[in-house]
Amino acid sequence: MNKSKTFCPIPWIFQAVRANGDLRVCCQANISKGRGVLPKENGINFNARGDNLVEARNNQVLKKMRLNMLKGEWSSDCIRCQQEEQNGLRSRRIYEMEQWSFNQESAESVTSDNGAIDTKASPVIYYDLRFGNLCNLACRMCSPADSSAWYSDWVKLYNKTTFNDTHGVVNLELKSNKYITNTYDWHQSDSFWKQISNNLENINHVYMAGGEPLLIKNHYDFLQQCVDRKFASQIVLEYNTNCTKLPQRALDLWTKFKEVRIGASIDGYGKYIEYQRYPVKWDNLYENLVKINNLPNNIYAWFALTITSYNIFHLTDFMKWKLVNKSTSNFNRSKKRPIITHHMAHNPKYLNIRSLPDGLKDQVANKFKEFVYWVEGNGFSIEIQNEAKKITSTIQDYMTSADYNKEYWSEFCDYTAKLDAIRQQNFLVLQPNFEEYFNV
């Protein structure tokens, strides 16, 4: 057996649901042309609202992807991992390879010549569930497909009551001075939860995001069922949450599970996170971070930063804060990721750091160099020094390995100015070094 350099366990053990209920390969495929969705033979996407989840596992996209992985070839839907690995970043594929014992040999034993798998021999043990778009924040790198809090600003920004998602055009309806749509309520489907319940004994890991997953009532009933049927002790729960809501019911249930992992969507502190993750208030958010920091030991949290052109200059300041702030010392407490856990905003491309002008990219490089010197000069461990070098060097490599400036910089300036006017914010006050490049 030749060892494949593209193998990933995801197409064999995993099932992912988009915010609109469409089934997909995984979230990383969202930047690919096909966005990783799984169409039926009639061209309509498999959707968790009412479709058969087991049947979707042998969709043509997944069958072809499995064969490509076993041959060591990259699939088009895997372009994000491919690009990140080419730039020295730790891709989702590498992370999943480290997490699971299901390897290439395991995959070959359950895969037929056409890429189909025996779904009983290889059941879903890992779910990625995006519980619609119900959210209380309207983050700048998101859209109405990601957050219901975006609806009003979207209409003001683009003067239209429609937007696109993988299933087609979404229409917003104005009711009682509030824009609404029922497109993203798939998680209220009894059919979906019944199918998950039938597979409960096989589940090892459930990743949950939104929107904001801690706002979704159905998910608490699911957690309670895991506890009542005595499967909680074998299940790892993982959340991507903005940490603005910490219901007591969640805190009580989490103590029953094998492990709870909290990816805290915190892109900075103070005015920086208030700008990027509008309309969050830092003081209130910080109180919740301290509360998470003091939860039982089966609960592990990390700062999951989304890096955009808005916060790239704040990144090193935030990392310094993380390293000296004792009230959040349990975040990123593993030796593998002792400072932060970050990922790039690949889309929209006008917020991607590759769109920055060369002069700003040079300033970023200087800030990164100063940060590494600061870490080395302040007595931090070798692990932290090495991680500081790795974070800064890989981000810089990614930033400079492609240039989106000519195509997308004017769009960045236009989008920023218009949204600032709507939200009564001012990016140039926050980051005055951008002023000479604005609208150039």
pLDDT of residue 166: 81
User: How many Cβ atoms from other residues are within 10 Å of residue 230's Cβ?
Assistant: 9
Query: Is residue 175 one of the residues assigned to a domain?
Result: no
Same domain membership, residue 361 and residue 229: yes
Q: Which residue in the block uniquely carries the two structure tokens 């090495």?
A: 386
pLDDT of residue 335: 77
pLDDT of residue 71: 96
pLDDT of residue 440: 59
10-residue mean pLDDT series, the chain (440 residues): 91 95 92 90 95 97 97 95 90 92 95 96 96 97 96 97 92 96 94 96 96 96 97 98 96 97 97 98 97 95 97 98 96 88 94 98 98 97 95 96 96 98 98 91
Q: How far apart (Å, rounded) are the C-alpha atoms in residues 45 and 33?
A: 15
Same domain membership, residue 358 and residue 242: yes
Same domain membership, residue 272 and residue 416: yes
pLDDT of residue 38: 96
CA 266 vs CA 134, 243, 269, 343: distances in Å: 18, 8, 8, 12
The token pair that represents 15 in the structure block = 């099932």
Query: Is residue 347 one of the residues assigned to a domain?
Result: yes
Q: What is the domain count for the chain?
A: 2
Query: Is residue 133 one of the residues assigned to a domain?
Result: no
Q: How far apart (Å, rounded) are the C-alpha atoms in residues 358 and 376?
A: 27
pLDDT of residue 305: 95
β-pair partners for 17: 23, 129
The token pair that represents 393 in the structure block = 């060097």
Query: How far apart, in Å, do the first and last CA atoms of the chain sit?
Result: 55
The token pair that represents 312 in the structure block = 């790239």
Query: Is residue 237 one of the residues assigned to a domain?
Result: yes
pTM of the model: 0.91
Helix (H) or strand (E) holding 237: strand 236-241
pLDDT of residue 1: 64
Residue numbers of the domain that contains 49:
22-76+89-122
